[in-house]
Amino acid sequence: TIYALLRGGHALVAIKDGKVNVVVNKAGKPGPATDGPAADARMLGPKYVTMDAKGNVLILDTENHCLRLYDPVKQTIRTIVGNGKKGSAVGADWAGTQLNRPHGARVGPDGRLYVTDTENNRILIGPAP
C-alpha cells in the first residue's frame, strides 16, 4: 500500500492494486484535529506522510500544528504531538509539546521520532509512538 496526502482535499489516500481509497477525512472538508474513526476525522493542510516500522502512518497536519498517527488496521487516527494550536512549549512528553507549522517527521534508525518544527526553527527528538 502506498499512502499520499491530498493537501487541498485535507485527506489521506491509500493506493493498492491500482485502486485509490480515501482513508482519512472521506468528506474532504478542512477542520480541527480530532481523534477517533479516521474516515470521519478532519485535517487542515496536511503536508507530509511517512510510515513507521509498525505499519502506522504518520501525518503532519501542518495547519493544525500537530503530528497524527493513522492506524490502518484499526482505521483510527490520533494526535501524538501538538494540540491543534500553534505554540513553542516543550513538555515533559510529546503530549505537552506544541508545534508551529511542522513539515517533516521520521522514525530514525535509533528508534526515536524526529519532528521538524518549521516556524519554531527546531528539530524535536523523542520516543517513537
pLDDT in tens, 38-69: 999 999 999 999 999 999 999 999 999 999 99
Q: Identify the residue with better confidence: 129 or 57.
A: 57
Q: Please, what is the average pLDDT of the chain?
A: 96
The pLDDT, as a whole number, for residue 95 is 87
Range of the structural domain that residue 77 is part of? 2-127
Backbone angles phi, psi at 114, to 5 degrees: -115, 130
Give the rounded percent of residues in the chain with a pLDDT score beyond 70: 100
Residue whose C-alpha cell reads 491509500 in the numeric block: 14
Q: What pTM value is reported for the model?
A: 0.94
| Nearest C-alpha neighbor of 36 from the set 71, 85, 84 | 71
Indicate the number of domains in the chain.
1
Residue positions counted in the chain: 129
Nearest Cα neighbor of 57 from 101, 103, 105 is: 105
Q: Residue 53 maps to which CATH number?
A: 2.120.10.30
Cell numbers that stand for 59 in this block: 501525518
CA 81 to chain centre: 9
